């Protein structure tokens, strides 16, 4: 819970909540979020400010992964409290001038929202005054095709996000949904997945004696099964 300047209370969205809806101006025109992206996964993320180095490295990393996100039926939407002309000038500078880690001529095709009023940033708990009251922290909201928030990440101003982890979380969420399984620590495609615990202890014990060679039970509450990388990629359209 967060109190804003007018002393009204902003309830920060949580995992499992419906993504708050808004209309905003962006570098790709006006967007209605999330309704413009029906049937898609959405990654709504914020950055503190245009024309800053960490944010530039992050935008180039998002740009590099654009085809991967598209294959995963996922729309990226960025946001900062800067205005539209600043966004346009910054993205043009990135494309025309920045050559970083082999990435250059990087065109950012996903919408970048202007949020001068901070309305959207406040709605999503992206303004965290202990870190900064004048800019958004580095937030990432993973929102599923039913517009439900499935994962939230917050990073501070001085730390760029880990794009392997962003991609891992997206693939893991989609795999969990498609195969009805859960993911163990550090899961990556090709690793074993967790078979949800059966309703009763008796059923679970029976499962431990299963002859299914793809299944392995460490105890009645902890069973895994094989799920090949190929099967995951085929299902997710990768």
CB of 96 to ligand BEZ, least distance (A): 19
Kindly indicate which of the ranges 45-53, 71-79, 96-104, 182-190 contains the residues binding ligand BEZ, using the contact rule CB under 6 A: 45-53
CB of 106 to ligand BEZ, least distance (A): 16
Which tokens hold the place of 94?
Answer: 């990135």
Measured in whole angstroms, the distance separating CA 117 from the mean position of its chain's CA atoms is: 23
- 158 part of the interface to ligand BEZ, by CB under 6 A: yes
Of 118, 126, 141, whose CA–CA distance to 18 is shortest? 141
Rounded to the nearest 10 degrees, how much is the dihedral formed by the CA atoms of 82, 52, 58, 111? 20
- 52 part of the interface to ligand BEZ, by CB under 6 A: yes
Catalytic: 217?
no
Q: Which residues contact 39 (CB under 8 A, 6 or more apart)?
A: 73, 145
CB of 183 to ligand BEZ, least distance (A): 31
Q: Using alpha carbons, list the distances in angstroms from residue 234 to 11, 145, 230, 238.
A: 39, 19, 6, 6
Q: How many residues bind ligand BEZ (CB under 6 A)?
A: 8
Based on CB atoms, which residue is closest to ligand BEZ, 166 or 181?
166
Beta-bridge partner residues of 24: 31
Q: Which of 12, 40, 118, 157 binds ligand BEZ (CB under 6 A)?
A: 157
Bridge pairing between strands 41-46 and 138-143: antiparallel
Kindly indicate which of the ranges 53-61, 84-92, 140-148, 227-235 contains the residues binding ligand BEZ, using the contact rule CB under 6 A: 53-61
User: Is the dihedral angle over the CA atoms 67, 68, 69, 70 positive or is it negative?
Assistant: positive
Based on CB atoms, which residue is closest to ligand BEZ, 158 or 185?
158
- 86 part of the interface to ligand BEZ, by CB under 6 A: no
CB of 220 to ligand BEZ, least distance (A): 49
Which tokens hold the place of 23?
Answer: 């209309």
- 49 part of the interface to ligand BEZ, by CB under 6 A: yes
Q: Which of 12, 24, 40, 54 binds ligand BEZ (CB under 6 A)?
A: 54
- 44 part of the interface to ligand BEZ, by CB under 6 A: no
Kindly indicate which of the ranges 50-58, 123-131, 183-191, 201-209 contains the residues binding ligand BEZ, using the contact rule CB under 6 A: 50-58
Peptide bond into 226 cis (omega under 30): no
d(CA 192, CA 177): 15
User: Is the dihedral angle over the CA atoms 120, 122, 124, 128 positive or is it negative?
Assistant: positive
Q: Which of 19, 43, 44, 55 binds ligand BEZ (CB under 6 A)?
A: 55
Would you name the residues annotated as active-site residues? 55
Could you list the residues that contact ligand BEZ (CB under 6 A)? Answer: 48-49, 52-55, 157-158
């Amino acid at each position: 819970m967060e109190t804003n300047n007018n002393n009204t209370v902003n309830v920060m969205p949580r995992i499992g909540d419906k993504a708050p809806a808004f209309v905003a101006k962006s570098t790709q025109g006006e967007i209605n979020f999330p309704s413009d992206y029906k049937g898609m996964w959405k990654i709504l993320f914020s950055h503190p400010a245009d024309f800053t180095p960490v944010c530039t490295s992050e935008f180039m990393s998002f740009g590099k992964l654009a085809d991967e996100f598209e294959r995963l039926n996922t729309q990226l939407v960025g946001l900062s409290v800067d205005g539209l002309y600043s966004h346009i000038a910054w993205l043009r500078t990135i494309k025309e001038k920045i050559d970083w880690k082999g990435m250059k001529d990087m065109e950012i095709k996903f919408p970048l929202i202007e949020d001068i009023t901070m309305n959207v940033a406040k709605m999503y708990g992206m303004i965290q005054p202990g870190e900064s009251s004048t800019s958004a922290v580095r937030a990432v909201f993973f929102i599923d095709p039913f517009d439900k928030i499935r994962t939230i990440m917050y990073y501070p101003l001085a730390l760029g996000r880990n794009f392997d982890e962003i991609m891992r979380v997206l693939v893991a969420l989609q795999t969990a949904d498609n195969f009805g399984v859960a993911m163990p620590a550090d899961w990556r495609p090709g690793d074993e997945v967790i078979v949800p615990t059966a309703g009763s202890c008796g059923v679970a014990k029976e499962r431990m004696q299963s002859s299914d060679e793809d299944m392995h039970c460490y105890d009645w509450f902890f069973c895994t099964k094989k799920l090949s990388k190929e099967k995951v990629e085929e299902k997710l359209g990768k």
